[in-house]
Chain A
Amino acid sequence: MWPYVLRKLLYNIPVYLGILLIVMVALRVNDPVWAHLGSKTRGTAGAQERYETKRTEMGLDRPFAAQYAAFVGQVATLDFDARSWDRPTETVGAMLRRAIIPTLMITVPSLVLTTVISICIGLVASYFRGGWADRTLMLLAVLGMSISYVVYIILGQYFAAYKLREWAGVELFAIQGYEPGIANWPYYCLLPVLIGVVVAVGYDTRYYRAVMVEETTRDYIATARAKGATKPRIMFVHMLKNAMIPVISRVMISVPFLIEGSILLEFYFNIPGMGKTMIEAIIHKDFPVIQAFTAVLAGLFIVSNILTDVLYAWVDPRVRLS
């Protein structure tokens, strides 16, 4: 097992170095300092000095190879001491630490809820394969997939946060905002999480149904049936266990989708997580923040990829040999 884990880690190092390279090159295509100061200020009094200060501050005047080495070193030692350009009082590291908790508050519950709900629906659909329940569920999934995420967010907020107040007179969900603490979680985070789940369930259900349907054609199912096991027992005991591999891979495949969702949800519901910070940094052209956040997000993503592979190998010993 351990050699396999090590192999995976080693394989992902060049990939991560490549990501850092792409990110750094992409951010330097346009001069990031002028982009931040606004190219119209070029030539005005004092602009050149400010430009030079910022440039040396971020080390942008050094050759690219030196900058690359320095940034790789910073990422490797998790040392994000650069100051944000947009909010000069804060370091990037502090912004990262502050943003990570709200993001987890949104993503982890959505991931768990989505997976549980869609596996259940997928099982039900494949159990009644071809019947009206199956067809209705799959039709709903396709219909749900055809509506934009953004529309779910806007209308979800309108109906669950504004309209519910008018109709029922209770304030179940905040319109937007975020307060730390578990006690505040349902008020601020439950609605975004639910919206994320509704969007993701459509995609996942279709996948899980296909997995289950494929699994029903296997020989061990025929064996179990020949031995007289009941259909529900075959579905929920024999099949579910064997379907775990595609389930794990799907859960991990949905991580980027989750990040995407959390960016939109945080942006709209004004939750100060990583996605919102990142998008705001892009809008304000806050170069140090964009660079560090992209690197960290990609790093987290790679870690989740490695975790998938390891889990895979753990569940299915055949994988280790390939």
Chain B
Amino acid sequence: MITLGRFFRSRASRKFRKDRMAVVSMAVIGLYVLIGLAGFVGLISIGDALERAGPDSTTGFFQDQTPEKRLRDARFWREIAERALRRENPQAAIREAAFFERALAPLPPAEVTTLVREADGLYNAVADHFDEATEARLMIEELQKQPTPDPAAIAEQAAAREKAQAAAAAALTELERVTLRLFPIPDGWRGTLYHFRTFLGTDRQGRSISMRGLYSVRIALQVGLVVGLVSLTIGALLGAAAAFFGGWVDHAVTWLYSTFSSIPELVLLSLIAYVFQGWNFVDELIPVYAALSLTFWIGPCRVIRGEVMKIRELEYVQAATAIGFRRWYIMLRHVLPNTAHLMLITFSLLFIAAVKAEVILTFLGLGVKNGASWGIMIGQSRQEVINGFLWQIGVATVLMFFLVLAFNILTDALQDAFDPKHVGK
């Protein structure tokens, strides 16, 4: 506790706390940690991220759906109701048909049947009006192509098109009202939860993008934390031992890290990912942790080795040797704690690298396979982006952006405050 107090009163940590950007980024990271904890204790479960929440590819809160899409969504809800009616026991099926908060209204089957019929009729009406509008548009194009366009005829067609569009819009509104009676949006906090689930849209399989993004926060934090700690531990111990003991230990460690760092990082990552293919683990993130940790220990190893080279010549180490402490004890008790500032900076760098590498590995098909993560979201959005749907990739990118940005700023501030050699502002 005394050491902690001394740490907070030290010049470097005072300098760090004066850096306003650094404090803001600490707050942002704190927010992410809270979201991650919500995922960890089960407030945001894997089911939230993997189960259907409604129709597919709905857009988020500030982008209006096209009328065609609204029509398709109405059909989606109607078909769910129809499916429930076709079951052997419609009464029970109606009670079960639900997507999280939004469920089929608990009406008697006869009433549901009427509503479905009404929805079906309205659906056909809207589709017909759409066809009329398209026909009119084609007619206008045809007329404009003629050598002497007839303005009166064009105006007539334009009016017809507008009329069809207005009729379609009216019928569509009516259809949506029926849909709402079939699948009412819940009130109260369940309603809030429903809106939260859908306010960023749904992906191609109708899963809630907001929930997927937030669940992935937990995965990213887990990957960053585990990989950061494991590779820092391996790297720091090897690096410190190499520099402190010298001799053959140093030769062996130097050879090991030159060897590992001479394989391009992504090649090494893919190689290790290949090794773990086909094994079954309790937690399927373990191959990802292993691949990243076995690749990332090189950085801390090199940094800590360099620093310990300098520290081992200092008086307090000689004093400790003179008192007669064992070498290992001196290394762990006197030398390693004095590299803590470098460890802090390196951890922050490793965290960023791990979060980014998860996305890249997953994108290449070698990382996280099931579940949800930013890598899976971005990888899946390839098809959506081609169709012009940017919500899933957007949400994953924005969430990842703020976390990585906060860590980038934090690393810079840490370097400014704790590393005297670093060139800052």
Contacts and interface: CB of A to CB of B under 8 A. Distances in A.
A95 B293 CA distance: 31
Interface residues of B, number: 48
Contact of B262 (A142, A151, A305): A305
Interface string B67-109: 0000000000000000000000000000000000000000000
Contact of A264 (B255, B259, B277, B360): B360
A145 interface: yes
26 contacts: A14-B255, A15-B262, A19-B263, A23-B263, A26-B271, A26-B272, A27-B271, A30-B275, A35-B278, A143-B401, A146-B405, A147-B404, A150-B360, A150-B375, A256-B264, A260-B266, A263-B267, A263-B364, A278-B270, A279-B365, A283-B365, A283-B366, A290-B274, A294-B263, A297-B263, A297-B264
Interface of B: 255-256, 258-260, 262-267, 270-275, 277-279, 356, 359-360, 363-366, 374-375, 378-379, 381-382, 385-386, 390, 393, 397, 400-402, 404-405, 408-409, 412, 423, 425
B262 A148 contact: no
A214 interface: yes
B43 to A, nearest CB: 26
B106 to A, nearest CB: 43
Interface string A11-42: 01011101100110011011000010001000
Contact of B408 (A142, A162, A283): A142
Contacts of A14: 255
Nearest to B412: A142
B420 to A, nearest CB: 13
A39 B280 CA distance: 13
Given A15-B255, A214-B423, A290-B274, A148 B360 contact: yes
Interface string A66-94: 00000000000000000000000000000
Interface string A254-283: 001001100110010000000100110011
A111 interface: no
Nearest to A175: B386
Most buried by B among A27, A143, A297: A297
A60 interface: no
Contact of A39 (B262, B278, B366, B375): B278
Contacts, number: 136
A15 to B, nearest CB: 5
A151 B400 CA distance: 11
A169 interface: no
Most buried by A among B359, B363, B401: B363
Please report whether the interface of chain A is mostly helix, strand, loop or mixed according to DSSP: helix
A26 B295 CA distance: 13
Interface in A302-321: 302, 305
B378 A154 contact: yes
Kindly state the interface size class of chain A when it binds its partner.
35 or more
A27 B381 CA distance: 32
A297 B267 contact: yes
Nearest to B362: A150
Nearest to B356: A148
Contacts of A155: 385, 390, 393
Contact of A146 (B263, B265, B360, B404): B404
Contact of B423 (A12, A151, A210): A210
Contacts of B379: 150
A196 to B, nearest CB: 13
B412 to A, nearest CB: 8
